[in-house]
Amino acid sequence: MTDPNAIQPSELDQLPDRDPEETAEWRASLDAVAQAAGPHRAAYLMRRTLESAEGAGVVLPKLLETDYVNTIPTAAEPAVPGDEAMEARITAWNRWNAAAMVTRGSKYGVGGHIATFASAAWLYETGFNHFFKGKEGDGSGDQLYIQGHASPGIYARAFLDGRLTETHLDNFRQESGGNGLPSYPHPRRLPWLWEFPTVSMGLGPLSAIYQARFNRYLTNRGIKDLSSSHVWAFLGDGEMDEPESTAALALAAREELDNLTFVINCNLQRLDGPVRANFKIVQELEAQFRGAGWNVVKTLWGTAWDELFALDTTGALVRRLRQVPDAQVQTYQTRDAAYIRENFFGSDPALVEMAKLLSDDKILECFRLSRGGHEARKVYAAYRAALSHKGAPTVILAQTVKGHTLGEGFASKNANHQMKKLSVDEFKVMRDLLDLPIKDSDFTDGQVPYGHPGAGSAEVRYLQERRAALGGPAPARRVHPVAPLPAPAEKAFASFDKGSGSQNVATTMAFVRLVKDLVRDKETGKRWVPIVPDEARTFGMESLFPSLGIYSPKGQTYEPVDRDQLMYYKEAKNGQILNEGITEAGSMADFIAASTAYSTHGEAMIPFYIFYSMFGWQRTADQMWQLGDQLGRGFLVGATAGRTTLTGEGLQHADGHSPVIAATNPAALTYDPAFAYEVAAIVKEGLRRMYGEAAPGEDQDVFYYLTVYNEPMPQPAKPSVPGIDEGIVKGLYRFNTAETAGLDVAAANAPRIQLLGSGTAIHWALKAQKLLAEEWGVAADVWSATSWTELRRDALEADAALLRGEERVPFVRQALQGAEGPVLAVSDYMRQVPDQIAQWVEQDWSSLGADGFGLSDTRDAARRHFGVDAESIVVAALAQLARRGEVKATAVKEARAKYGL
């Protein structure tokens, strides 16, 4: 009974009802249907009405879930062009070889995954045969993000195609001896095949979105027309738990990236068991993607289910499918028909009657085998619908069985992700199921054979003809013959050599000023891609807004509030700056797409991504590893770097460790420049190495990480020191001596010490140099250590050369050769950073650094707290000299008292 005092729905609506009588009639009709035909019929009519209204252009809230059925009914599926029987044979060979490769490798303990590709085979094969454009046609082809655990299936197809041999397959996960295949898609390990590393789950979908977005960026800026390129991302339903997987869904919809399709293999299993044991992952993903503005295509049930849906005159079957949780669906996969009759059909009288019309074989066919993702026709229909949809990206939710065709021991079993092999008997069952011409005698010594119909077989000819029609092999990575970019005019770099005079300048501002000059270069200026996560004004980049424009596919549809100002906020369809908002992960995905455009699209782009240094490597180091794997090139710039240069922000913003993390990445060249002319020299060298004429044997597939500080300091002129340019690039040079600094050290044989500093710490070292001379009679030479990490890597290479019988002296030892006294190194980072080179320094070694958590205070107070300020350097220097007997021990105590330490 209705409560007369309850608030009625109409009272909650602020919109006035212009015709209450008409509204009442609609409600009464809905109530009548619900009473006569049931609430599910009423819900059905409402959904259809809403869909019809949407099609007529009536703006309504989106429906977030639809029934647990296929989006495209069988009657609406287009015919698959080509020879379906032939494609089935090709798929069978690929299934076999993928399983054989992993099984054969298991005897060496190298592992591998079988079940994932077994579930996804048709998702890939349909694309390879009909949709995925190669790189030998017009444009750049499509970009394929392959699910990492499905790599054996991709190798199997390349073997059938003649791109790989049995030797390659037998070296799966055994790369050290040559002819090996990496475990997953790793471009750095197999650069002719793989384009995109995807196995660090969550990064593939994120990168795919930004790749599709960057394709539009290149098109809108007139760099290259990529309107025919499509990005396909193959994902696992378990992978969608990763926050990165869904982090940019709204961006993709907002920018209408209909050049992007996600294909989510919904086999309902992740590594340990069901993805959503008590719920339904497909329904959850549908709501999530629809809510974000994506087009959703569900491909759940195979053709065998058509008979069941035709019998469902009451909607009982559809209701039951929505009720059954995913873990129970998995259970049906492994149980007999009697169990399914009782547990599934026995829950509703209408379903009991339906089941009476079905044979046990029909029930088992539906519940064990017939999934939409296992049928070429249904997958083809979904892909065609995705490419036809305009104005939004599409996600295809394809239901499959994990371990499909591998036998009852694999299919839907919770442990199948960890199961690495099949027995000979299981392979024979699989052979019969796939109808492959492999004889029992081919299993020699218990070893499963590879299968191949022959290089001239109908299957191989068909496969190659289909790929030729689509533009060549896929996946494939191509580095197009691109001429080296011309070096920018020397004037842009040389202007920093004279210093800043009386003006104090932070190296952050020096870098931004350098970029302003470089983007004006007629030859290479348009190839710079500035990337910033909503902090452009923090880094002094707002002057670039009106000159370069902020990229937006919509242009600027409003009048900016600061339009009357010189540096107004200007958005443009051909804008050059990627201002990503507060997303370091999204900015890194931008950087990866831009930094690999030289191979993906044959267009060398020069990205620089500037960010709070604390929120770079600490937050997105996994993506930087992905960047190295994908062979990206460009400049990462950690601004406001160092533990003590950013005052007042406290622990979460105080970076004292990013160079430590960066040192773990072999592709990252890490620099902590002290002066503006060093910044210019490093960028100049980076442009030459990554984009210009590389030296013989020089690896161009690197990226540069520069830490720059936000503290305005005097920027000296570049000293006339022999070998200074080499020293800047290699990591160390002597900036001055006590004598060249004009310091008066009274005694001719005064104690001497070598002070090594990097970044902002060089200024404390210079002050300490003066204090040591004027107050303690100690001569100090000051060295700029632009890269502790590059010094270490050079020394490691020298050690390796010695093991090969080659004589080679590390550069750090060469540079310091003959330098008198001990060495004291200091940086605004933890001591582990300078200590990287300690073992190769012949002099007595000591270091100072900012170890521990950061804190909020003034710069001077923070430096005193960490013991890295000039006075602390003086005391540490005196202590080193006292241990050597070169100054009195009492001097250390006197200095501590004098400076209040």
* pLDDT band at residue 668 using 50, 70 and 90 as cut-offs: very high
In this prediction, residue 10 carries a pLDDT of 42
Q: Which of 252-261, 529-538, 757-766, 770-779 has the lowest mean pLDDT?
A: 529-538
Q: What is the mean pLDDT of residues 340-353?
A: 96
pLDDT of 619 > 60? The answer is yes
In this prediction, residue 890 carries a pLDDT of 95
pLDDT of 751 > 80? The answer is yes
Q: What is the pLDDT of residues 800-847, one digit of tens each?
A: 999 999 999 999 999 999 999 999 999 999 999 999 999 999 999 999
CA atoms 592, 593, 596, 600: torsion sign: positive
pLDDT of 218 > 70? The answer is yes
Give the single-character DSSP code of 661. Answer: H
Burial class (CB in 10 A: 0-12, 13-18, 19+), 707: buried
Which of 209, 162, 702, 221 is closest to 467 using CA atoms? 162
In this prediction, residue 753 carries a pLDDT of 97
In this prediction, residue 482 carries a pLDDT of 67
Please, are residues 767 and 681 in contact by the beta-carbon 8 Å criterion?
no
Give the single-character DSSP code of 447. Answer: P
In this prediction, residue 413 carries a pLDDT of 57
Which of 421, 428, 422 is closest to 443 using CA atoms? 428
In this prediction, residue 15 carries a pLDDT of 63
* pLDDT band at residue 108 using 50, 70 and 90 as cut-offs: confident
Mean pLDDT of the chain: 93
Q: What is the pLDDT of residues 261-284, one digit of tens each?
A: 999 999 998 888 899 999 999 999
- For residue 144, list its beta bridge partners: 232
pLDDT of 418 > 70? The answer is no
pLDDT of 571 > 80? The answer is yes
**Percent residues over pLDDT 70 in the chain:** 97
Strands 635-639 and 606-612: parallel
Vertex 700: Cα angle to 694 and 703 (nearest 5): 130
In this prediction, residue 4 carries a pLDDT of 47
Cα separation of the two ends of the chain: 81
Q: How far is CA 861 from CA 650, 651, 736, 857, in A?
A: 13, 15, 28, 6
Judged by DSSP in three states, 75 sits in helix
Whether a cis peptide bond, with omega within 30° of 0, leads into 475 is yes
**Percent residues over pLDDT 90 in the chain:** 82
Burial class (CB in 10 A: 0-12, 13-18, 19+), 621: middle
Token pair recorded at residue 362: 């029909």
d(CA 572, CA 574): 5
pLDDT of 655 > 50? The answer is yes
* pLDDT band at residue 153 using 50, 70 and 90 as cut-offs: very high
pLDDT of 13 > 60? The answer is no
In this prediction, residue 43 carries a pLDDT of 85
In this prediction, residue 570 carries a pLDDT of 93
In this prediction, residue 300 carries a pLDDT of 97
In this prediction, residue 414 carries a pLDDT of 58
Q: What is the mean pLDDT of residues 201-210?
A: 97
Stated pTM of the model: 0.94
Please, are residues 620 and 634 in contact by the beta-carbon 8 Å criterion?
no
Rounded (10°) angle between helices 761-776 and 870-883? 60
d(CA 736, CA 70): 74
d(CA 596, CA 197): 12
In this prediction, residue 100 carries a pLDDT of 95
Tally of helices (H runs) and strands (E runs) in the chain: 34, 20
Q: What is the pLDDT of residues 180-194, one digit of tens each?
A: 999 999 999 999 999
Q: Which of 56-65, 126-135, 573-582 has the lowest mean pLDDT?
A: 56-65
Q: What is the DSSP string of 141-157?
A: --EEE--GGGHHHHHHH
Q: What is the pLDDT of residues 231-249, one digit of tens each?
A: 999 999 999 999 999 999 9
Please, are residues 131 and 144 in contact by the beta-carbon 8 Å criterion?
no
